Chains A and B, each alone.
Chain A
Amino acid sequence: MEDNSISPTEQNNVLEMRGITKLYAGTVALENVSFTVVGGEVHGLIGKNGAGKSTLVGILSGIIPPSRGTIHLNGNTYHHLTPITAKKEHVAIITQEPQVVEESTVAENLFMPRYIDSRSLVKWRKIDQEAKELLKRTGFEIHTDRKVRELTVSERQILLVVKACYVEDARIIIMDEVSASLNQKDQLVLYRIIQDQVDSGKTVIFISHHTEELLNVCDRVTVLRNGHSVGSAKVQDLDKKKLAALIVGDEAYEASVAEEKSALIENESILELRDYTRYGKFEKIDLCIKKGEVVGLAGLRGSGRTELFKCLVGLDQPDQGEVLLDGKAFTVKSPDEAMKSGMVYLAEEREAEGLVSISSIKRNITVNILPEVSRNGVILSRLENSRADRLVKVMDIVAASRDQLISQLSGGNKQKVLVGKIMAGRPRVSLLDEPTRGVDIEAKQSILKTINDEMRKDSCVLITSPGVDDLIKICDRILILYRGRLIDTFNREEFDEEVIYRAIQGEVIHEETVREEIIFNEGGQSNATCY
């Protein structure tokens, strides 16, 4: 399935990237990737996490300089772009994290930084008027004088889409997983805007993890796998199954399921939540996790996974409910208290909340075991070094030495350091929020293996993941979190990626069991509520 399936005329290619290679110190992010986009199409870009999608569009938007390769844009040739040249060539990117000025209004954000002026005086009324018209036209109903600070992520995302498409006059619009954080209503708005762009002859590059969405929205799809381009095809020639096969490659899926370790599970519950609630985030969470168990928490972005974890370690406070750790009531006000009781949280944002990037691998990885490698508060260097070396080896971290700075590592290796740090402390409960996000396949395998083999020993693990496939590999149970509530549970023998995927979208799979349990629960049996 190469490009020969379609033969666009040369003049029609608004964008051609040829032989793009991007090397990072530790890994090859892209290798000799070619990527062609025809004017006036919606071009989908798909691949697993770490396949190189974000790197590719980062290069295209001038944020990341490529190591090799050329970019042909509107007839001009570049070896690398800067954000300014990209803008001149009418390329705009909308990323997953919306970049807005929170303290300004919707209208101001739309027209910033050029505004509408007459002789350098900003014409506020005109800006407001135009913003209103624009929003009305796109069907995105929101007051133009609201502060952006008050908007939801979904609304901010749409706001930036509107800005890129209508205000900045971009002709190639890159949407990097924009739809992931949109609610259903805003998704429709997005699709309408995309259609409008195509009608007026513009080009959209659309990145998404959802195959179905991609097939509905796009004209053509390019698949990336492990930094290589697998090829492009028209959507008419594809279906969900074919596309999934291209994304995953030849890897036999069954073979990658981790060794089953359910023998390690003991009938002793470590963590128990009862009626655990933080209003607006999650409600009435009941669950118990046994010793040696790895439990997956599957849910869409915004379903309350991260919020639940943050409450458990004391970063936020719950409104009601109780937590039992080893049968004893557990309340904490801050992470250091949680840590003392053995509850450790691996943050989703590894740069911002996980690692100290200007410090060395050693100093990061031994944070949780400092008391073990010291006497009377004095660190025993030799002991610390050997522990650090062992962790680097166990986690298979690729680095020049234990003293290398975190900032010089690739994403996958950073994540390995983070997991190694959590593991080293031998926590009683590990709360792992997306430990495999944005890492390459090898790193993912070694992280999953560590969790499966090491972290569950004498303790328990609660884990979330950007993809259901990772959870299926190592979990003993998967709980479905939907809009802040646990709505379903799957045991290992009934794991099926597609079914679970449907479940996290809110579909009820085990209708009878759910009902039964509720009745059972009302009968007063507390065990039945324990997912």
Chain B
Amino acid sequence: MRRVTKIQLFILENLVWVLVILFFLFNAIATESFFTFKNQVNIIFQSSLMGMLVLAQGIVMMVGELDLSIDAILAFAPAMTILFVTTVMPLNPFVAILMTLLLGVLVGFINGFFVARMKSNSFLLTLSTQIVMRGIILFLIPFSIAGLDPAYTYVGRGRLFGEIPVAAVAFILIFLGFEFLFNKTIFGRKFLLTGGNRRASYISGINTNRVIIYAFIIAGLLAAVAGLIATGRQNAVSNGMGSGMVMMAFAGAILGGSSFNGGVGKPIGMLGGALLLGMIDNALTLRGVNVNLVYATKGGLIFLAIMLDRAKDQINDHIMYKENIRRLTSTEDGLEKAS
């Protein structure tokens, strides 16, 4: 393949990062106090919460399903843990963190089990679990529970060297970890294959049900991590945490290259999607744009992403078609065929 073609394909693959860089450069020049170290760290910190949900949604979308319950897990996992600690018996904060994560895993497993084994529709099933969880915490926690153990809130509040938020670091590390998982391991490879063609993957000897269950478990786990970050940030649990965030999670995942048809998606792209959303929030707020207008802008961005996604496939087809014709005409045999 020619180098030009390779570069074209690379850019096409990482379109979201082109957007991120363009947006960054524009604001670095045009928006006051955007291009400061403090603000950049802040953007990453602010994006970390949504980033976890974007990644969770993106992974479920990889296997061709979707998960509406992640923003409810975000509230449910820490809320139930804190409730347990405050009303039943006090726990070591590390055990409490473990319990939070396990709750996320458990809900993820329930989602995955019914979707994979019972062949339920994931939209409907996760809608039901979302409502159940939100209902339970609305009932059990009418008011916020504040004043938590600093160890429990460390992920959300803690700072390294006094200025770098733990959440920001964790956020980047988790994305890099998943990028490795999906790019370099057999375990990760199975996700994209399962999402691309479940029947073919099953016949090829992949235990597709297990892959789907794992996708939901990972989503639940990441949502619980997001719950820890959210709890830490406000140093309290409340029943409205994360409400409505799942839709923006879809937005970030789609910006990052995921598709509802499954079989595509890269964590590094989802990272770009999450950062782009965070950056827009930050920059527009700095410029004094009304919150609701920021919201509308994000909607427009999603629209753009969907259009780009369709165009991307066609451009890719076109590039490869050109490349093939070039190959065919470069050999004598091919010349005959193409003429």
Contacts and interface: CB of A to CB of B under 8 A. Distances in A.
A379 B320 CA distance: 26
Contacts of B200: 347, 352-356
Contact of A344 (B185, B192, B205, B337): B205
B263 A335 contact: no
B205 A338 contact: yes
Counting chain B residues whose Cβ lies within 8 A of the other chain, the interface size class is 20 to 34
Interface string B181-201: 000111101001100110111
Contact of B320 (A315, A338, A357, A400): A400
Counting chain A residues whose Cβ lies within 8 A of the other chain, the interface size class is 35 or more
Residue picked from A339, A352, A363, A401, most chain B C-beta under 10 Å = A401
Contacts of A400: 1, 5, 320, 323-324, 327
A371 interface: yes
A293 to B, nearest CB: 23
A353 B203 contact: yes
Contact of B189 (A23, A338, A353, A370): A370
A252 interface: no
Per DSSP, chain B at the interface is: helix
Contacts of A377: 185-187
Interface in A441-471: none
Given A379-B185, A400-B327, A25 B320 contact: yes
Contacts of A354: 200, 203
Interface string A476-500: 0000000000000000000000000
A81 B324 CA distance: 26
B143 interface: no
Given A335-B202, A368-B204, A356 B187 contact: no
A367 B317 contact: no
A367 B204 contact: yes
Interface string B202-225: 111111000000000000000000
A359 B184 CA distance: 15
Contacts of B206: 336, 367
Given A356-B197, A377-B187, A400-B327, A363 B205 contact: no
Contact of A405 (B185, B201, B316, B337): B316
Contact of A356 (B9, B193, B205, B321): B193
A359 B199 contact: no
Given A356-B200, A378-B185, A408-B321, A336 B205 contact: yes
A359 B317 contact: no
Nearest to B321: A25
Contacts of B338: 23
A363 B184 contact: no
A354 B193 CA distance: 11
A12 to B, nearest CB: 35
Nearest to A345: B203
B189 A363 contact: yes
Contact of B205 (A26, A368, A398, A399): A368
Nearest to A402: B1
B320 A356 contact: no
A106 interface: no
A190 interface: no
A182 interface: no
Given A26-B324, A28-B337, A359-B192, 8 more contacts: A25-B321, A335-B205, A347-B203, A352-B200, A355-B200, A356-B263, A368-B205, A400-B323
25 contacts: A25-B320, A28-B337, A335-B203, A335-B204, A338-B205, A352-B197, A354-B203, A355-B197, A356-B192, A358-B197, A358-B261, A358-B263, A367-B193, A367-B204, A367-B206, A374-B185, A377-B185, A377-B186, A377-B187, A379-B185, A399-B324, A400-B1, A400-B320, A405-B316, A408-B321
Interface of A: 23, 25-28, 313, 315, 334-336, 338-340, 344-345, 347, 352-359, 363, 367-368, 370-371, 374, 377-379, 381, 398-401, 403-405, 408, 421
Interface of B: 1, 5, 9, 184-187, 189, 192-193, 196-197, 199-207, 261, 263-264, 316-317, 320-321, 323-325, 327, 337-338
